[in-house]
């Protein structure tokens, strides 16, 4: 038997009994249709060609669901009041399914470092030594590419800093008044108290429960960007124990959100980290914009709710095994996930590496997808929140911040602001792998204010350019391709210095330094205690009393916008403790943003 969604013409306001009468239950049963009487009819926006005739007859379209033998589907479709018969496909969340291949250095693995997957520089290692980072084997259209879904590149706090959400928070823009609907496996209210309500297709798992865990991850990721938002737990994937659901569940959920919005104008945003992995699961949904669920999504957007969808995890470099042969460009973004009106989100990490399982355009319903990328592969609800599943709610959280300040923000304007200010990843402008690139939260805010995007130049230098002030206080100092690895002597302090390539004058204008960024990793008994910033020999900013230990993939230090005179230097003060081990520190890179 095949699960189907049936569109019926009925008298306006008809209940279940009237719906059954309009269908002609006996007739429907004669063609083998088994109605699911527990599924209350859902009103649906009609196809354009039926709008006039329905209005004249005081009729509307409703959706019901049931099962039928596949060879009887055309007979069901031919019944007089049946407008359409569609696949009620199974849907699943987009966890990462990529394969991880690593080459690790025996001596450095035990030192506790979790190196990023940068390629190269093996010739600088000792004979027989392998590099302490992953070297991908698949050809990527957007190198360097990250396929290490279980290795976090920073924390959720690092993501917020990278997107400059923290700078919006300091302006008082924290998401107050925003409700984000997390359409997923559920959200565990005992762990995420921001849950204030929701909908579930399964009475065993009411709103505020999460049998699958995935939805709690996506809610955490949204709140990590938009901390004062509230959450609706819209449990689309709860009907099958928090693992999967049906498109008919999604239709019901979206109708609940629409009814709720009509009552109190919440939720303002719906985040969707789910979809279909293969076209064959439901070709009529995958490729036809008239499928009832896709029309329901458009109805919700037209009402004023902003909708984000994960692009999917079927990119060509390291796709999920569930994608089968449906991978890569043109074969990986199906159904509503790639509708022109939807905001379609791919994934990259905060090292600005495209993630190789991100589904690639063209989508089945729009050639210009995805729209952009948002961060994934970071420590959040799990040790590494991953997949386009993590990227989508991050984008939804950023949109929540913007919506809390720009209360009239629409779907189209939110998409435009994030596209126009995104940082290119794979190529200039839009491309089918990363869309317009990585979103930038504060830049989108500036765009919506009507002011120009301020950033004029960003300049970085590799960790191999770092210099040590007191080499005699080190046990070792090694330059390994893109980073420098040092081991300090116990009980010592030291200073390490970067010279940042500095654009002093661009297009006849002397630039200002807005911020500096440093990326470093330390073991437990090595601590960065000071960051000093210089213009030539003049100290322009000092951050003292720090206690930075562990993996710091992205640390930003804001600078009073001083005009650059000569050249920018960054000095890091480090204290090595007195324990017998744990004194390694890796310098990855440093950079500056100039305006």
The helix (H) or strand (E) run that includes residue 121 is none
Q: Which helix (H) or strand (E) holds 400?
A: helix 387-405
Distance from C-alpha of 433 to C-alpha of 480, rounded to nearest angstrom = 30
> Residue 48: its pLDDT value, please?
84
What token pair was written down for 480?
């390994």
Helix (H, G, I), strand (E, B) or coil at 387: helix
Longest distance between any two alpha carbons in the chain, whole Å: 92
pLDDT of the residue at 135: 31
Q: CA 293, CA 244: separation in Å to the nearest integer?
A: 16
pLDDT tens, position by position, 298-350: 999 999 999 999 999 999 999 999 999 999 999 999 999 999 999 999 999 99
pLDDT at 134: 35
Euclidean distance between CA atoms 120 and 143, whole angstroms: 12
Q: So what's the pLDDT on residue 562?
A: 80
> Any idea what DSSP says for residue 435?
B
pLDDT averages per 10-residue partition of the chain, 595 residues: 94 74 69 91 90 90 95 92 95 65 32 43 44 47 93 95 96 98 98 98 96 96 99 94 87 98 98 97 97 98 99 96 96 98 98 96 98 98 96 99 98 98 95 98 95 72 96 95 94 97 86 93 96 94 94 88 89 97 95 90
Helices (H), 118-245: 156-162, 165-170, 214-225
Class of domain 2-88: alpha beta
Q: Do residues 444 and 451 lie in contact, with contact meaning Cβ atoms separated by under 8 Å?
A: no
Q: Dihedral sign for Cα 542, 545, 550, 555, please.
A: negative
* 420 CB-contact burial (10 Å; exposed 0-12 / middle 13-18 / buried 19+): middle
DSSP 407: T
- Domain 457-594 belongs in CATH node 3.40.50.1820: no
431 DSSP β-pair partners: 435
**What pLDDT shows up at residue 80?**
86
Quickly count: other Cβ atoms within 10 Å of residue 115's Cβ.
24
Number of C-beta neighbours around residue 278 at 10 A? 19
DSSP string, 505-566: EETTEE-EEEEEEEEEEE-TTEEEEEEEEEETTEEEEEE-S--B-SEEEEEEEEEEEEEP-S
pTM for the whole structure: 0.86
Task: Say which residue the tokens 């809390």 belong to.
Answer: 404
Please say whether the dihedral angle defined by the alpha carbons of residues 158, 163, 165 and 168, taken in this order, is positive or negative. positive
**Rounded-to-10 torsion of CA 318, 320, 321, 324:** -90
Closest by Cα among 412, 425, 410, 423 to 453: 423
Q: Which H helix or E strand runs over 563?
A: strand 551-563
Residue found under tokens 């005992």: 190
Looking from the CA of 218 toward its CB, the CA atoms found within 13 Å total 38
CA-CA distance, 166 to 159, in Å (whole number)? 10
Q: How far apart are CA 399 and CA 430, in angstroms?
A: 20
What is the domain partition of the chain in residue ranges?
2-88, 145-404, 457-594
| CATH assignment of 145-404, among 3.40.50.200, 3.90.1150.10, 3.40.50.920, 3.40.190.290 | 3.40.50.200
Q: Which residues of 236-262 are buried (b: 16+ CB within 10 A; e: fewer)?
A: bbbbbebebbbbbbbbbbbbbbbebbe
Within 10 angstroms of residue 64's Cβ, the number of other Cβ atoms is 24
């Amino acid at each position: 038997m095949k699960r189907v969604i049936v569109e019926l013409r009925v008298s306006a306001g008809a209940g279940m009994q009237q719906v059954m009468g309009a269908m002609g239950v006996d007739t429907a049963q004669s063609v083998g249709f088994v109605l699911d009487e527990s599924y209350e009819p859902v009103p649906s926006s009609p196809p354009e060609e039926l709008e006039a005739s329905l209005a004249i007859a005081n009729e509307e379209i409703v959706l019901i669901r049931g099962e039928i033998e596949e060879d009887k589907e055309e007979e069901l479709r031919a019944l007089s009041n049946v407008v359409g018969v569609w696949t009620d496909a199974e849907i699943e969340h987009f966890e990462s399914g990529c394969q991880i291949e690593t080459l690790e250095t025996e001596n450095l693995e035990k030192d506790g470092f979790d190196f990023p997957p940068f390629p190269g520089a093996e010739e600088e290692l000792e004979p027989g030594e392998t590099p302490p980072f992953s070297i991908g084997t698949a050809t990527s259209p957007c190198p360097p590419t990250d396929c290490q879904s279980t290795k976090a590149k920073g924390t959720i706090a690092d993501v917020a800093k990278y997107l400059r959400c923290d700078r919006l928070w300091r302006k008082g823009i924290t998401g107050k008044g925003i409700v984000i609907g997390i359409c997923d496996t559920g959200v565990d209210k005992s762990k995420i108290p921001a849950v204030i309500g929701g909908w579930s297709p399964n009475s065993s798992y009411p709103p505020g429960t999460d049998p699958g865990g995935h939805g709690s991850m996506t809610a955490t990721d949204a709140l990590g960007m938009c901390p004062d938002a509230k959450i609706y737990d819209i449990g689309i994937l709860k009907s099958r124990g928090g693992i999967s659901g049906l498109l008919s569940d999604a239709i019901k959920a979206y109708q609940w959100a629409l009814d709720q919005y009509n009552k109190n104008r919440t939720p303002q945003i719906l985040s969707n980290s789910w979809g279909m992995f293969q076209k064959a699961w439901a070709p009529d949904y995958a490729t036809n914009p008239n499928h009832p669920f896709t029309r329901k999504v458009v109805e919700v957007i037209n009402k004023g709710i902003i909708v984000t969808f994960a692009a999917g995890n079927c990119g060509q470099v390291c796709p999920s095994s569930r994608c089968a042969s449906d991978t890569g460009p043109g074969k990986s973004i199906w159904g509503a996930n790639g509708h022109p009106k939807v905001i379609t989100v791919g994934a990259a990490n905060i090292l600005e590496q495209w993630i190789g399982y991100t589904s690639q355009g063209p989508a089945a319903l729009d050639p210009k997808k995805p729209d952009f990328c948002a961060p994934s592969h970071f420590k959040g609800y799990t040790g590494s929140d991953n997949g386009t599943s993590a990227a989508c709610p991050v984008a939804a959280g950023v949109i929540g911040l913007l919506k809390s300040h720009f209360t009239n923000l629409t779907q189209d304007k939110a998409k435009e602001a994030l596209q126009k200010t995104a940082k290119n990843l794979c190529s200039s402008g839009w491309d089918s792998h990363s869309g317009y690139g990585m979103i930038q939260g504060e830049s989108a805010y500036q765009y919506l204010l009507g002011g120009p995007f301020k950033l004029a130049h960003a300049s970085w230098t590799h960790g191999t350019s770092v210099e040590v002030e007191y080499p005699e206080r080190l046990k070792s100092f090694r330059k390994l391709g893109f980073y420098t690895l040092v081991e300090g002597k116990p009980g010592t302090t030291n200073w390490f210095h970067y010279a940042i390539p500095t654009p002093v004058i661009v297009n006849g204008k002397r630039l200002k330094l807005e911020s500096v960024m440093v990326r470093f990793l330390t073991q437990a008994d090595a601590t960065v205690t000071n960051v000093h910033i210089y213009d030539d020999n003049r100290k322009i900013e000092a951050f003292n009393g720090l206690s930075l230990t562990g993996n710091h993939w992205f640390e930003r230090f804001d600078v009073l916008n001083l005009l650059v005179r000569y050249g920018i230097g960054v000095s890091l003060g480090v204290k090595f403790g007195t324990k017998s081990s744990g004194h390694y520190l890796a310098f990855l890179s440093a950079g500056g943003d100039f305006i």
